[in-house]
Amino acid sequence: MAFNFGAPSGTSGTAAATAAPAGGFGGFGTTSTTAGSAFSFSAPTNTGTTGLFGGTQNKGFGFGTGFGTTTGTSTGLGTGLGTGLGFGGFNTQQQQQQTTLGGLFSQPAQAPTQSNQLINTASALSAPTLLGDERDAILAKWNQLQAFWGTGKGYFNNNIPPVEFTQENPFCRFKAVGYSCMPSNKDEDGLVVLVFNKKETEIRSQQQQLVESLHKVLGGNQTLTVNVEGTKTLPDDQTEVVIYVVERSPNGTSRRVPATTLYAHFEQANIKTQLQQLGVTLSMTRTELSPAQIKQLLQNPPAGVDPIIWEQAKVDNPDSEKLIPVPMVGFKELLRRLKVQDQMTKQHQTRLDIISEDISELQKNQTTSVAKIAQYKRKLMDLSHRTLQVLIKQEIQRKSGYAIQADEEQLRVQLDTIQGELNAPTQFKGRLNELMSQIRMQNHFGAVRSEERYYIDADLLREIKQHLKQQQEGLSHLISIIKDDLEDIKLVEHGLNETIHIRGGVFS
């Protein structure tokens, strides 16, 4: 249904309908209908995705979908696959990486087209000339609303196609800037991320079959070995699998295939089809960015992001060494990051639960170890006493029949002297008795103090007192009622007795 603003004065409805383009604003002031609506809040028909940092997209970095996904294969990478050791052209790694990164940092060289698009957008938002009357102001506000929302088409001239409003346009209000962790792996580590549209349990149960399938995708070369670095659960029942490929040379040495080379091989059309049959929805390398690349990313604001907001995001970066600002355009991206955050929170909670269980197990082991140590100490003391007794008996048997020697006599005299000093009531024996008494008293008071005591909170004690007071008042009121009832019963009984006496006197 077209929008009917009414025909202007002096112009017939038929003439207005004739001047309007087909499928556009025909039928102003008439009741005619068109096949398609001129204004719509639906998503624009252009479903092609554009990278957040330029016209072309690249997924050569492990920032998730924040950097977009590439739609074409890199050229000049891994062209020697299938020959020799399986990955030809290892000496061109630097050129390969530059070729892969080119799509991320290069801007489309279409200055005239972009200039015309900006002029058309400005005309649609500020000064449309479609109707030539006051309705153009209403149309301008409608185009502004669509631009703010980030969807729809902006009509502004009968001879120029309408402007497509997407969420990447600078006037879209549903934008924010978040932060993503930069990968720290090098290209030589060979880590490539494959996102499968399967659950983690299914991936883990079929990990061996998955490795064999990926080996077949690589051509089944016996010099190549596929290894799984790790798996991680993603939202929407997806799983992230990090792999690397080890290549063995005929002389017995081995090394990892560079990540850019492996990624370029996976991006070939026939290989990509085979990966999709395995359930792979996304593949990307996990390599670190060079300082020059980071500087270029930070200096150039993404498409549709206000430079002031981008500068503020760089200032507010909590850790510029590990995090990089990433634009969030639209509610879908915000929902995606929310799901990822929720999933990561669950993983952290699971890890904390495992750590808590480990700590509990260690505490039990510690308690058991302490008890065993105390038991072994008692056993050691017992064995020491028994050993001493055995030595004493052995020494007695060895010295039997011999006269007491001079050093033994001297030792006996010293022991008798010590024994006498200990038995003296005014010296060591008295002090020992006093110390023993103090120890017994401390043990007694310590046992009394170690008894459990319960303390009641002041507010709780106040509530208990209030409750008991109400109970006491209720009991007092009940007692008074019972007393009143007893008095009434006595009065009734007294009246009955008097009535019986009076009747007895009458009958007598």
Lookup: tokens for 81: 């696959």
78 vs 180, 215, 223, 226, 312, CA distance in Å? 29, 16, 16, 17, 41
Inform me whether the pLDDT recorded for 47 exceeds 90.
no
Which is higher by pLDDT, 30 or 160?
Answer: 160
Which range in 186-195, 397-406, 442-451 is most confidently predicted, on average pLDDT? 186-195
Q: What digits encode the pLDDT tens for the residues 286-310?
A: 888 888 888 888 888 887 788 888 8
Q: What is the pLDDT of residue 508?
A: 57
Mean pLDDT value of segment 461-482: 90
**What is the biggest distance separating any 2 CA atoms in the chain, rounded to whole angstroms?**
151
- Give the residue extent of every domain in the chain: 114-173, 176-328, 459-496
Q: What is the pLDDT of residue 343?
A: 86
Mean pLDDT value of segment 311-324: 89
Q: With contact defined as beta carbons under 8 Å apart, do 188 and 254 qualify?
A: no
Work out the pLDDT band at 10, boundaries 50, 70, 90: very low
Angle at 450 between CA 448 and CA 455, to 5 degrees: 100
Q: What is the pLDDT of residue 412?
A: 86
Mean pLDDT value of segment 109-115: 56
Which range in 234-238, 325-329, 386-390, 459-463 is most confidently predicted, on average pLDDT? 386-390
Inform me whether the pLDDT recorded for 485 exceeds 80.
yes
Tell me how far apart the alpha carbons of residues 144 and 124 are, in angstroms, rounded to a whole number: 8
Q: What digits encode the pLDDT tens for the residues 338-396?
A: 888 898 898 899 999 999 999 999 999 999 999 999 999 999 999 999 999 999 889 88
Q: Which of 364, 5, 292 is nearest to 155 (CA)?
A: 5
The residues near 223 (Cβ < 8 Å, ≥ 6 apart) are 85, 86, 247, 248, 249
Q: How many residues does the chain have?
A: 508
pLDDT above 70 covers a percentage of the chain that reads 74
Task: Among 24-28, 274-278, 302-306, name the one with the lowest average pLDDT.
Answer: 24-28
Tell me how far apart the alpha carbons of residues 209 and 215 are, in angstroms, rounded to a whole number: 10
Class of domain 176-328: alpha beta
Which is higher by pLDDT, 155 or 103?
Answer: 155
Q: What is the pLDDT of residue 449?
A: 56
- H-run or E-run covering 270: helix 269-277
Inform me whether the pLDDT recorded for 92 exceeds 50.
no
Tell me how far apart the alpha carbons of residues 507 and 297 are, in angstroms, rounded to a whole number: 126
Q: What is the pLDDT of residue 11?
A: 36
Q: What digits encode the pLDDT tens for the residues 259-274?
A: 889 999 998 989 889 8
Q: What is the pLDDT of residue 458?
A: 83
Q: With contact defined as beta carbons under 8 Å apart, do 258 and 190 qualify?
A: yes
The residues near 481 (Cβ < 8 Å, ≥ 6 apart) are none
Q: With contact defined as beta carbons under 8 Å apart, do 268 and 276 qualify?
A: no
195 φ, ψ (degrees, to nearest 5): -100, 120
Work out the pLDDT band at 243, boundaries 50, 70, 90: very high
Tell me how far apart the alpha carbons of residues 292 and 431 are, in angstroms, rounded to a whole number: 83
Task: Among 2-11, 144-153, 286-295, 410-419, name the one with the lowest average pLDDT.
Answer: 2-11
Work out the pLDDT band at 249, boundaries 50, 70, 90: confident
Mean pLDDT value of segment 456-471: 86
Q: What is the pLDDT of residue 504?
A: 67
Q: What is the pLDDT of residue 507?
A: 59
The residues near 425 (Cβ < 8 Å, ≥ 6 apart) are none
Q: What is the pLDDT of residue 251?
A: 86
Which is higher by pLDDT, 342 or 61?
Answer: 342
HSE-up of 97 (CA within 13 Å, CB side)?
18
Work out the pLDDT band at 113, boundaries 50, 70, 90: low
Q: What is the pLDDT of residue 453?
A: 60
Work out the pLDDT band at 24, boundaries 50, 70, 90: very low
The 3-state DSSP class for residue 260 equals helix
Q: With contact defined as beta carbons under 8 Å apart, do 305 and 177 qualify?
A: yes
Q: What is the pLDDT of residue 454?
A: 62
Inform me whether the pLDDT recorded for 153 exceeds 70.
yes
Work out the pLDDT band at 8, boundaries 50, 70, 90: very low
- H-run or E-run covering 482: helix 458-507
Q: What is the pLDDT of residue 348?
A: 92
Q: At what angle do helices 135-149 and 111-126 cross, to 10 degrees?
A: 120
Task: Write down the mean pLDDT value for the chain.
Answer: 75
Q: What is the pTM of this model?
A: 0.48
pLDDT above 90 covers a percentage of the chain that reads 17
Q: What is the pLDDT of residue 57?
A: 37
What is the CB neighbour count within 10 angstroms for residue 191?
23
Angle at 412 between CA 409 and CA 418, to 5 degrees: 145
Work out the pLDDT band at 446, boundaries 50, 70, 90: low
The residues near 87 (Cβ < 8 Å, ≥ 6 apart) are 78, 80, 81, 247, 257, 261, 262, 265
Q: Cα dihedral angle (390, 395, 400, 405), rounded to 10 degrees? A: -150
